[in-house]
Amino acid sequence: MEETGEALVRLENVEKSFGEKTIIKNLSLDVFDGEFLTLLGPSGCGKTTVLRMIAGLESVTEGKIFLEGKDVTSLPAAKRDVNTIFQNFALFPHLTVWENINFGLKMNRIEKSEAEKRIKSALRLVKLTGFEDRFPSQLSGGQQQRVAIARGIVMKHKLLLLDESLASLDLKLKRDMQVELKEFQEKLKMTFIYVTHDQDEALTMSDRIAIMNLGHIVQLGTPEEIYKNPKNAFVKSFISDIDLINFKKTRMNRYA
């Protein structure tokens, strides 16, 4: 087995082509245990494709993917200790909120009392206590999104992949959920790989950010590093709207 140091996830020279078109080009990335890493970049740059390859939902054309030091490049999704919350957060329409969140727990034969404890705690986190018996069609888009988040976190996998998971929430709820998700991730010492094209969200939540463009990582660093030393005009243009003083204040308030 190749040594990946303390990296929980390692992408080694990963490439992805759909037909003739190469979408991801020679991408290497280490994500460490307990880290909140964000993939930030414009629409179409390949963020979802990278997440899908880590989850095992998309094959890798070239290169390797390691999870906890183990080469999982050809391992099917079900055998990877990873949970994904997708952009379209497809819930089961015929199952209630409770049953939707319980689905994975049941499949994994988690003991009933433990499952109940986790579901209740997840419902509190996403502010949906009292909504247990509703069906997805009886919820707003934002509420459905929060059910999807709850469904992802109850599994307590080490690695959670989140694809634009807060995008459809209104601003106030989005800000609250950002703080709570971050607290949750730190408390459970989980590793999050978070996809967004919201720069403010990336800068305030992440330990490190990988700025992507056209299938490449253009710059990888802490929010401060990227903000202070954008590597090129693209990165600069991507984060230039943020006022640093305000940004620092927000971060300090949030995580004081």
Ligand X SMILES: Nc1ncnc2c1ncn2[C@@H]1O[C@H](COP(=O)(O)OP(=O)(O)OP(=O)(O)O)[C@@H](O)[C@H]1O
Residues of this chain, 13-72, that bind ligand X according to CB under 6 A:
18, 23, 41, 43-49
Total binding residues toward ligand X, as defined by CB under 6 A? 11
* End-to-end Cα distance, the chain: 41
Measured from the CB atom, the residue of 48 and 73 that comes closer to Mg ion is 48
| Nearest residue relative to Mg ion (C-beta) | 48
141-160 residues in contact with ligand X (CB under 6 A) are none
CA dist., res. 120 & res. 240, Å (int): 41
Which letter, b or e, does each residue of 113-124 get, where b requires 16 or more Cβ atoms within 10 Å of its Cβ? Answer: eebeebbeebbe
Q: Whole-number minimum distance, CB 21 to ligand X, in Å?
A: 7
Residues 165-178 as b/e (b if ≥16 CB within 10 A, e otherwise) read bbbbbeeebbbebb
- Positions in 19-58 near Mg ion (CB under 5 A): 48
Give the Å distances, CA to CA, from 104 to 101, 107, 115, 234. Answer: 7, 5, 10, 41
- Interaction with ligand X in 179-218: which residues (CB under 6 A)? 197
Least distance from Mg ion to the Cβ atom of residue 118, Å: 28
Question: Which residues form the interface with Mg ion (CB under 5 A)?
Answer: 48
Residues of this chain that interact with ligand X (CB under 6 A) are: 18, 23, 41, 43-49, 197
